[in-house]
Amino acid sequence: MNYFTNVTKKIISIFLIITFSFQNLAVAMDSEFDDTQDKKTHKATILPINHSLEDLRLLNNETIESPEGRKFNDHKISINEVTESELLLTNRNAYKTVLKSSIPLIISMAPVISKSIVNNIILAQLEDPDAIAAGPLISTYMNSVTGSIGAILSCCGILGGKRAAMEDHEGLRDVVRNGYFAGLILTIPSLAIYLNAGRILKSTGVENSIADNVQDYFFYYSIGSVLPTYWTLVDQQLALSLNKNNLPIVISISRTAISLLASYPLALGAWGCPKLGVAGLGYGTSIGTLSAFLAIRTYISYSEAYTKYPLLSNFSFSTYTNNMRKFITKGGPLGLLRFMEWGNLAANSMILGTLNRNTQIAEQISIQPIIAYNFILIALTQASGIIISQKLGQAEKLKAQDRQEEYKIALNNAKRLGSAAIAISFFSSLATAGLFIGLSHPLQRLFEGTPQDIESKDDWDTIQSLADTMLLVNSISLLADGPRNVGGGAFSGYEEVIFAPSVSFAFMSVLALPISAGLVLGAEFNPVWAYGMRAGGIFLSALTICYKWYQKKSVPEKKAHATIENVGLISNSPSRRTYERAWYNPIRWGVAILSMFRK
């Protein structure tokens, strides 16, 4: 017990060190905006505007009292062309903006997460070890294909959000049509990959019985899920670019509800349905996806909010491929970034799939919580890219109106939103990692199946021990996986889509995967090393991406300000920003939390 307590303290201490390092990085990201201009003059002091215009008008009619108790009744405040749109976002407002845009997407992912969890619980109820072992392969294989193509199509939200902010209706329509055409074309290779999933897995060394279960799922999944999934993703991106954030929630809930309602009886043979096993899960997913697509397509076709964009009318090859080159060059790297998440997991599952059954079941138990949380990271990544692109679209509109100062401030607001999104991703990952580590045994019981599936108690003890270690390693990797994903999303908002995917590909695939295969398959190291190397690649990628983001300079600007014609009124008092940040001072909170571990 003492050993476990000491280990827990060390893990928490490591989390805290990383937490406060990232907090200091977030402060450094925002410090670029704190130009102190009150050092060279005694005639006027510059006060950054953190108030509304009404606050300033009230201030102009009231008595100001300095920190020393001296009163100034003769002060004069002149407002130099201050408008609400010129105000630079504070930290608090940046976080609020990111959360406001992210929460609807995260909520829309909740049904998807629940469906993934319920599907694996159903697999555990089949009392078939091969079906249980097929679980992580089904999840990672499907998300590698559909997730990567979904990331390509998410380019619709980024490019469309910018055009929506610029009120370029024709440009937005072209972007969405590009998405429909890309989804149609990408359906062909997707079907080929899904319908040959069993052969592909067998060629990598996965057991035939496990590969057959995976093939059964994807055969029925391919019947009605592939193209409807892609076009529904495009519809979601259109809604997000127009700030219609409720539509993705409706789509997700309806699709998941119908899928689960159909999957459960078909997989387990309930309610008089034939027992199809793993194939029933794929068939139910097809029913739910196709039904939701038809419903949402009908809604968009008749809703006043969307009828101004004749998306599927006037079909011709030229109208649907207009500006397609830009769509591909921006969307392709985003697909690569997502593939680094799911494809890397799939590759590790294939490596472990060549080992014994105990390892495969342990991986199923440990990886499902990580897969569930990845959907939340996807939502936060998409939201960060879209809100940054919208802010940059506003900046372009201001530039076209020759409002240069507002243009510069809008650019800096975009940078601050990206910094806020990266910080939020880290803290959410920190909380989730701690939750997974603390609830490792309940999570195991959720996905473990029934003890009769295991040949002996010794095997079961081995599975539990291996699953514990895998879940610990995967949970720690989440600390960097959040900033890595969301940092890539922030860069995508600037339409800088090459850097982050290239870094992830270099560290997670070119470097980590060969080492994993060599250690686990060649040197016969513990299977946990496969995920240990993946975690190392994630941390290196995250550090590189965050450092690059920190190096991204803000635009020099002439701050909107108020002039106060009294010496020392503001300069003798602590800055407002110091008080705003006092509540999350890393040193104060670090000392307070670490003091809890003193004996």
Longest Cα separation, the chain = 88
DSSP result, 516-558: HHIIIIIS---THHHHHHHHHHHHHHHHHHHHHHHHSPPPP--
| Confidence grade of residue 65 (pLDDT, cut at 50, 70, 90) | very low
Percent residues over pLDDT 90 in the chain: 8
Q: Is the pLDDT confidence value at 83 over 70?
A: no
Residue where the block lists tokens 């020759």: 402
**Residue 156: exposure state from Cβ atoms within 10 A (0-12, 13-18, ≥19):** buried
Rg of the chain on CA atoms, in Å: 27
- Specify the higher pLDDT residue, 331 or 571: 331
Partners of residue 45 on adjacent β-strands: 564
| Confidence grade of residue 190 (pLDDT, cut at 50, 70, 90) | very high
Residue 194 has a pLDDT of: 92
Percent residues over pLDDT 70 in the chain: 71
H or E element in which residue 503 lies: helix 499-504
- Specify the higher pLDDT residue, 55 or 247: 247
**Residue 458: exposure state from Cβ atoms within 10 A (0-12, 13-18, ≥19):** exposed
Which tens digits make up the pLDDT trace of 221-243?
998 889 998 988 888 888 888 87
Residue 575 has a pLDDT of: 37
Q: Is the pLDDT confidence value at 67 over 60?
A: no
- Specify the higher pLDDT residue, 581 or 458: 458
Q: Is the pLDDT confidence value at 283 over 80?
A: yes
Residue 27 has a pLDDT of: 40
Residue where the block lists tokens 């300095």: 66
Average pLDDT over residues 520-524: 82
Locate 442 and state its tokens: 């309940």
Locate 114 and state its tokens: 């629940």
Q: Is the pLDDT confidence value at 90 over 60?
A: yes
Q: How many CB atoms lie within 10 A of CB 550?
A: 15
Partners of residue 64 on adjacent β-strands: 72
Q: Under a CB-based contact definition with an 8 Å cutoff, are residues 524 and 4 in contact? A: no
Q: Under a CB-based contact definition with an 8 Å cutoff, are residues 430 and 479 in contact? A: yes
Mapping DSSP to helix (H, G, I), strand (E, B) and coil, where does residue 496 land?
Answer: coil
Q: Is the pLDDT confidence value at 14 over 50?
A: no
| Confidence grade of residue 406 (pLDDT, cut at 50, 70, 90) | confident
Q: Is the pLDDT confidence value at 71 over 50?
A: no
